[in-house]
Amino acid sequence: MSIVQEILRSERSMNSHHVLAKLCQESYEKSDFEEAGIEVMVSGNCFVFRGTDEARDVLRDIRVLPLWTSVGWCPAGFFKASRRLLPKIMSWCLAHDIDHTKIELTGHSLGGAVAQLVGALMVRDEIIPVQVVTFGAPKCGRLKLLDQVQKVFLYRNGKDIVAVIPFFMRRHKPLVRVGKKCSRIKDHFIKNYVRAKKLAGHAQ
């Protein structure tokens, strides 16, 4: 099999971003394990980090104190939770025979920030996720390690306020904008990301 054929085969096996948005929505009703206050749902080789569907809760609860870490500057609370999650994720992969070269990471809101940081920690440990996709995630720093992940998409629906906070924190890469601009609060709801018509990625 040629390299091109291998790449195409790998891409076909990945979840579309619309499916990932639906998984994020499902994660508010289901969880497979929890660590550091973060609920995680697993679907095949995809780890879905539950966030906060209410933008007001994020604005109230977000811990924005930056910390210099092994993956760069990022919010302290996000990093500490992600660092505790990583060994549990790898243990899950071992127990459930998940190929660590095919891991997908996704999350909505705070879960999206955790997905990015877990991805950066994996790359640090020489485990490269096939894609990291977030919906309405707050900024969590310019994570250069994520440059090694082939597909990283950070979505913002409409005027979602959460996707642009903390205002002083850098973002890993530019946002992919979807949906109509309606409300800074309501545009954050995961159901509105699921309804978005222009999610990127394959096999929509």
Cα 132 to Cα 122: distance, rounded to the nearest angstrom = 11
Residue 76's pLDDT band, with cuts at 50, 70 and 90, is confident
Q: What is the CATH number of the domain that holds 33?
A: 3.40.50.1820
Residue with tokens 């002083």, as numbered in its chain: 168
Split into its structural domains, the chain has a count of 1
Q: Is the pLDDT reported for residue 177 higher than 80?
A: yes
Q: What is the full DSSP assignment across 78-107?
A: HHHHHHHHHHHHHHHHHHTT--GGG-EEEE
Residue 2 lies in a domain: no
Q: What is the pLDDT of residues 21-54, one digit of tens each?
A: 999 999 999 999 999 989 999 999 999 999 886 6
Tens digit of each residue's pLDDT (9 = 90 or more) over 121-160: 999 999 999 999 999 999 999 999 999 999 999 999 999 9
* DSSP tag of 29: T
Q: What is the C-alpha separation between 116 and 13, in angstroms, rounded?
A: 21
Token digits of residue 1: 């099999």
Classify residue 74: in a domain, yes or no: yes
The one-letter amino acid code at 47 reads F
Residue 175 resides in a domain: yes
Whether the pLDDT of residue 104 is over 60: the answer is: yes
In a domain, 140, yes or no: yes
pLDDT band at 63 (very low <50, low <70, confident <90, very high): low
d(CA 123, CA 101): 11
Do the domain assignments include residue 52? yes
Nearest Cα neighbor of 43 from 5, 14, 82 is: 14
For 29, counting Cβ atoms within 10 Å of its Cβ (0-12 exposed, 13-18 middle, 19+ buried), the class is: exposed
In a domain, 4, yes or no: no
Amino acid at 35: E
The CB-side HSE value for 140 (13 A sphere, CA atoms) comes to 30
CA 7 to chain centre: 22
- Does any domain span residue 144? yes
Give the residue numbers spanning the domain of 174. Answer: 16-195
